[in-house]
Amino acid sequence: MEKNFKVAALYCFADLKHYHQLQKPLRDLCQANGIKGTLLLAKEGINGTVAGSCAAIEALVHFITAQPALQEPELKYSWASKMPFHRMKVRLKKEIVTMGVEGVNPLEIVGTYVEPEDWNVLIQDEETILIDTRNDYEYVLGSFQGAIDPRIKTFREFPEWIAKHEGDLKKKKKIAMFCTGGIRCEKSTAYVRGLGYDQVYHLKGGILRYLETMPKEKSLWWGECFVFDERVSVSHGLEECGRELCRACRYPLNAESKLSPHYEEGVSCDACYNTRSDADRQRFRERHKQFQLLKSRAMHSYQER
């Protein structure tokens, strides 16, 4: 399968006092080059995932890294067989990853970074407690062997989970955390370090870098890694897994899921059918029509470039 779209996932914590001034030039650059995806700007830095042609993504990364405060972002590249986004958004936010706790600053205190090649040794240590900081629907698709699933719906729930499991954390000498690309763990390890825990570790580059660099035969990862774009999930080597999202509830679907009588594209699936009314489903049908139209226009516009 030919992969024509370069995907860039990036973040950088920085003291970005004038972040609002970057919104327009970033949006203009992306629109001029056919880049789609989402970039978040806040006083604490930049975060986002975007896709486009190789030249377009290179131009964007050059612009971002030319900013004095953003010269060394955490940056990961992959490829997609089709454009994984339908529009471009550059948003101003209070946080680039929302935990909702004041005073958590990864620039001041953070966990110890662990390279993918050293990760297996750490998480197999009997003195290590391993925590998946992602949302519950992401864990369902795949995780590291032995990882704890906090069963959170959003990252805002993570501090409460930590508070409730203080006893479990103190039973082990080391706390290891991981997430998709690394950004949640910047905040989660900073938060836990701030509570007084010293031996706190996180996977540098997140799951994506691990899957990119770790040979499958040596890997301790099971399943797939959920990603927040139209690829839905990737496996070792960052290969697409062929899943789709239910447009009503964003639950990841495979070929078997789509055989259910409750599945209707853009409207419902097994996971959400009984939680929606007939009026909801009719509204989703209308929304899906608009979505298909937008997707068609976006692809036509890109092909004309």
Q: How far is CA 49 from CA 19, 40, 74, 122, in A?
A: 18, 9, 12, 29
DSSP state of 238: G
**DSSP category for residue 254:** -
Q: Can 179 be counted among the known catalytic residues?
A: yes
Distances (CA, A) of 92 to 9, 13, 202: 18, 15, 27
What are the φ and ψ backbone dihedral angles of 264, each rounded to 5 degrees? -140, 125
Which letter, b or e, does each residue of 235-258 get, where b requires 16 or more Cβ atoms within 10 Å of its Cβ? bbebbbbebbbbbbeeebbeeebe
Compute CA distances 171 → 52, 126, 175, 203, whole Å. Answer: 47, 11, 10, 21
What distance in Å separates the CA atoms of residue 7 and residue 154, rounded to the nearest whole number?
A: 24
Contact 302, 34 (CB under 8 A): yes
Which residue in 12, 30, 179, 272 is the catalytic one? 179
220: its two tokens: 């301790």
Query: Which among 293, 233, 289 is positioned nearest to 84, based on CA atoms?
Result: 233
DSSP string, 95-163: -SS----TT--TTT---EEE-HHHHHHHHTSTTEEEEE-S-HHHHHHEEETT-B----SSGGGHHHHHH
What is each CA distance from 243 to 38, 142, 144, 252, in whole angstroms? 21, 13, 20, 6
Helical packing angle, 54-65 and 23-32, nearest 10°: 160
Cite the active site residues.
179
